[in-house]
């Protein structure tokens, strides 16, 4: 009799998972970058399948590697212990192969792509649907001189452009006018000399071999996929930094002793990728997180010159005041409310107890605040909501999460 699968999502540390030594699915660097981009944009929505007490990965090796690059401490998993050893090995092959068997309806695909102009699909690996040969199959055309464009066929050329070389967060070179706004903020806010700023993240650059002069400050946009590694390097070597980072990242940065500067900035980079961006720094050791509306406004002014304004979407989860996320701090910054959280007033959390039965978590992690800090946060959030209501109205039917007794006990120990 076949054992029935009872699947339940749980979270395990990334180091607790064991890759299968005979995994037959190879992932190129571009594949992992695309997975990183998907997680950064949409969250970790596909749990990794594991088996036995060794937490052996059955499917999800690429997702685990992406999670490590993004600095995740834990990942969602489902246990496949209902499978025998033979079945789990066969399922690993079948799982990957069946994903290859589906075909695209290109007419509907084009409609969907055109309806979602703000999403950077090339960064999500759409070029891996095929190279030159399969593109011929897609469009039933010959590529001319290594270029898929056809003279005079603007509609076709615009569609082909969607599948050019992918551009990920690691390729996000900052427009100079946006960079200067950030540099001015660092100079004015922290009393730094712009002549001492260092930008080691350029094509072919090696930030670990860069010659950092005494008193310098790194103000640059690093590859997001190795951000945790970069932060640790600068912390160990006592080098000041103010770095661009993903807009919803919080936990892994805060655990490394850095401060999140939340701005809710939507930046269109030089490769046309549009990414929600915050900042991480070691220049404010007494704070764990801070919403800075002034920097948001300054970036928005310059970014608007580079592209059309993007419509902002409201969050769908509502947390108690004792829980703050990068999204909630971004919300304050977006609507002109400055707010800061002291390090001794917060602890990093992955989720709330109330979320566990539903397999939900806080994307990018969150901060559990003391009662005093929560009161201040509630007042700041109310100010932001009042400003938001003037132009956008309020969030309809949010999902409300409550604190458990265990979490309230933790709060009592915070200052």
pLDDT, greater one: 95 or 129: 95
Q: Nearest Cα to 345, choosing from 257, 255, 415?
A: 415
Q: Does the pLDDT value for residue 187 go beyond 80?
A: yes
Residue with tokens 């350029």: 202
pLDDT for residue 111: 67
β-pair partners for 56? 18, 51
44 closest CA partner among 16, 65, 23: 65
Mean pLDDT of 207-215: 91
User: What's the pLDDT tens digit per position in 77-90?
Assistant: 999 998 989 899 98
Q: Which CATH class is domain 10-101?
A: alpha beta
pLDDT of residue 31: 82
Residue 346 to residues 93, 251, 287, 368, Cα–Cα distance (Å): 44, 11, 10, 5
Length of the chain, please? Answer: 415
Rounded to the nearest integer, the mean pLDDT of the chain is: 80
Max CA pair span of the chain = 73
Once rounded to an integer, what is the mean pLDDT over residues 211-234?
90
Say whether pLDDT at 141 is over 50: no
Rg (CA), the chain: 23
Angle (CA) 318-320-322 rounded to 5° is 135
Q: For residue 154, what pLDDT is reported?
A: 53
Q: With 80 as the cut, is the pLDDT of residue 398 above it?
A: no
Kindly report which listed range (55-59, 217-221, 272-276) carries the lowest average pLDDT score. Answer: 272-276
Write down the pLDDT at residue 350.
87
Q: Does the pLDDT value for residue 405 go beyond 80?
A: yes
Q: What is the pLDDT, as a whole number, of residue 375?
A: 94
> In the prediction, which pLDDT does 129 show?
38
Domain residues of the chain, as ranges?
Answer: 10-101, 106-161, 169-412
User: What confidence tens digit (pLDDT) does each residue in 163-184 have?
Assistant: 444 444 445 578 889 999 999 9
C-alpha 247/C-alpha 362 separation (Å) is 14
What value does the mean pLDDT take over residues 350-358? 84
Question: Which single residue is written with the structure tokens 């037959």?
Answer: 24
Exposed / middle / buried, residue 235 (Cβ in 10 Å: 0-12, 13-18, 19+): middle
């Amino acid at each position: 009799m076949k054992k029935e699968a009872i699947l339940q999502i749980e979270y395990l540390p990334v180091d607790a998972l064991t890759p299968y030594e005979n995994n037959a699915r190879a992932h190129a660097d571009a594949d992992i970058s695309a997975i990183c981009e998907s997680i950064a944009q949409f969250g970790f929505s596909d749990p990794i399948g594991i088996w036995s007490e060794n937490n052996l990965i059955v499917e999800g090796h690429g997702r685990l590697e992406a999670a490590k690059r993004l600095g995740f401490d834990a990942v969602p998993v489902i246990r496949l212990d209902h499978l025998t050893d033979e079945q789990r090995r066969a399922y690993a092959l079948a799982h990957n192969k069946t994903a290859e068997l589906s075909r695209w309806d290109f007419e509907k695909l084009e409609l969907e792509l055109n309806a979602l102009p703000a999403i950077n699909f090339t960064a999500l690996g759409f070029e891996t649907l095929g190279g030159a040969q399969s593109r011929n199959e897609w469009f039933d055309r010959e590529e001319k001189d290594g270029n898929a464009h056809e003279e005079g066929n603007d509609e076709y050329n615009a569609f082909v452009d969607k599948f050019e070389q992918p551009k990920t967060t690691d390729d996000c070179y900052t427009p100079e006018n946006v960079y200067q706004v950030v540099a001015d903020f660092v100079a004015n806010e922290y009393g730094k000399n712009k002549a001492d700023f260092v930008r080691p993240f350029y094509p072919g650059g090696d930030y670990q071999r860069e010659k950092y002069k005494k008193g310098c400050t790194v103000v640059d946009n690093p590859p997001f996929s190795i951000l945790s590694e970069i932060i640790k390097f600068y912390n160990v070597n006592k080098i000041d930094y103010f770095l661009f980072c993903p807009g919803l990242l919080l936990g892994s940065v805060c655990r490394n002793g850095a401060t999140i500067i939340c701005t809710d900035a939507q930046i269109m980079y030089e490769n046309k990728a549009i990414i929600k961006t915050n900042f991480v720094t070691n220049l404010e050791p007494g704070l764990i997180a801070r919403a800075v509306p002034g920097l948001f406004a300054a970036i928005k002014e310059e970014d608007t010159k580079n592209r059309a304004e993007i419509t902002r979407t409201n969050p769908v989860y509502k947390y108690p005041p004792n829980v703050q996320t990068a999204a909630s701090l971004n919300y304050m910054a977006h609507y002109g409310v400055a707010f800061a959280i002291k390090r001794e007033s917060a602890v990093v959390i992955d989720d709330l107890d109330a979320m566990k039965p539903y397999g939900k978590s806080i994307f990018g992690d969150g901060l559990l605040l003391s009662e005093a800090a929560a009161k201040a946060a509630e007042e700041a959030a109310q100010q932001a909501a009042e400003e938001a209501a003037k132009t956008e109205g309020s969030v309809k039917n949010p999902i409300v999460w409550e604190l458990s007794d265990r979490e309230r006990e933790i709060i009592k120990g915070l200052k």
